[in-house]
Amino acid sequence: MESPMVKVHDKHFEPFIPENEIQIEVTRIAEEMNRDLANKDPIFLGILNGAFMFASDLYKQLAFPCQITFLKLASYSGTQSTGTVKQLIGINRELKDRVVVVLEDIVDTGVTLETIIRQLSGYQPAEIRVATFLHKPNATIKKVKLDYVGMEIPNDFILGYGLDYDGYGRNFKEIYRLVD
Ligand code: IMP
Ligand code: MG
């Protein structure tokens, strides 16, 4: 039953979180949402690319009226010398006065999520909640409230279940960790 190591580009990864453990946590989050959000007509915002698989597995298990759409953070060079600015794109629905639930694959430093929350706030939603499948608490420097967390993990580089290394590995059903 033990899965073998995988090689992606030049790097080796070992099995870390098996498929059944992933699905247990996704189901737990879905059950929490089925209790919390049933009468709130929420709109789920999946953050591309990484969250597509978590979003899909979770959304199938929600048993109340709700919508989903997907957003992306696009990088463009700022006019100042400060480097890249990330803009949230793809918002094509009215978010004003809605309960929005951000779906993320992983919160590492928290910089990405903070950027997302700040930009979403401009649309004046009634409430913003965050669900992330993974959290690296020891790496998080931007403290953002996480309402639903699948698993907390150490500061290892991981891939699979939507997460990639240089674009590859998102298709793996289980999560792997970099072997150094
Ligand atoms: P943050 O802004 O540092 O929280 O990073 C968030 C983004 O970095 C995630 O949405 C992922 O796309 C990527 N990321 C963070 N840690 C990992 C990892 O271990 N493997 C693959 N991608 C990661
Ligand atoms: Mg991501």
Query: What residue owns the CA closest to ligand 1's atom 16?
Result: 108
Give Dmax over CA atoms of the chain in angstroms.
Answer: 53
pTM of the model: 0.95
Do residues 85 and 113 touch, judged by C-beta distance below 8 A?
Answer: no
Query: Is the pLDDT score of 83 beyond 90?
Result: no
Three-state secondary-structure class, residue 94: coil
Give the span between the Cα atoms of 37 and 163, in whole angstroms: 27
**Adjacency order of strands within the sheet including 67-77:** 84-89, 67-77, 43-48, 99-107, 127-135, 148-152
Where do runs of H (alpha helix) occur along the chain?
A: 19-36, 52-59, 111-121
Catalytic residue among 10, 97, 108, 166: 108
Q: Is 103 helix (H, G, I), strand (E, B) or coil?
A: strand
Q: Answer for the pair 134, 153: CB distance below 8 angstroms, yes or no.
A: yes
Please state, in angstroms and rounded to a whole number, the distance separating the CA atoms of residues 179 and 15.
10
pLDDT of res. 180: 76
Q: What average pLDDT does range 97-123 have in this prediction?
A: 97
Q: What was the pLDDT predicted at 34?
A: 98
Confidence of residue 22 (pLDDT cuts 50, 70, 90): very high
Residue with CA closest to ligand 1 atom 3: 109
Active site residue 147: no
Summarize pLDDT for 44-54 with one digit per residue, the tens.
Answer: 999 999 999 99
Domain ranges of the chain: 18-157
Phi-psi region of 168 (alpha: psi -120 to 50; beta: other; left: phi over 0): beta
Q: Which of 105, 106, 107 to mutate to test the pocket of ligand 1 (most atoms within 8 A of CB)?
A: 106
108 lines ligand 1 (CB under 6 A): yes
Assigned architecture for domain 18-157: 3-Layer(aba) Sandwich (3.40)
Q: Extract the runs of DSSP E, i.e. beta strands, from the chain.
A: 6-8, 11-17, 43-48, 67-77, 84-89, 99-107, 127-135, 148-152, 158-159, 175-178
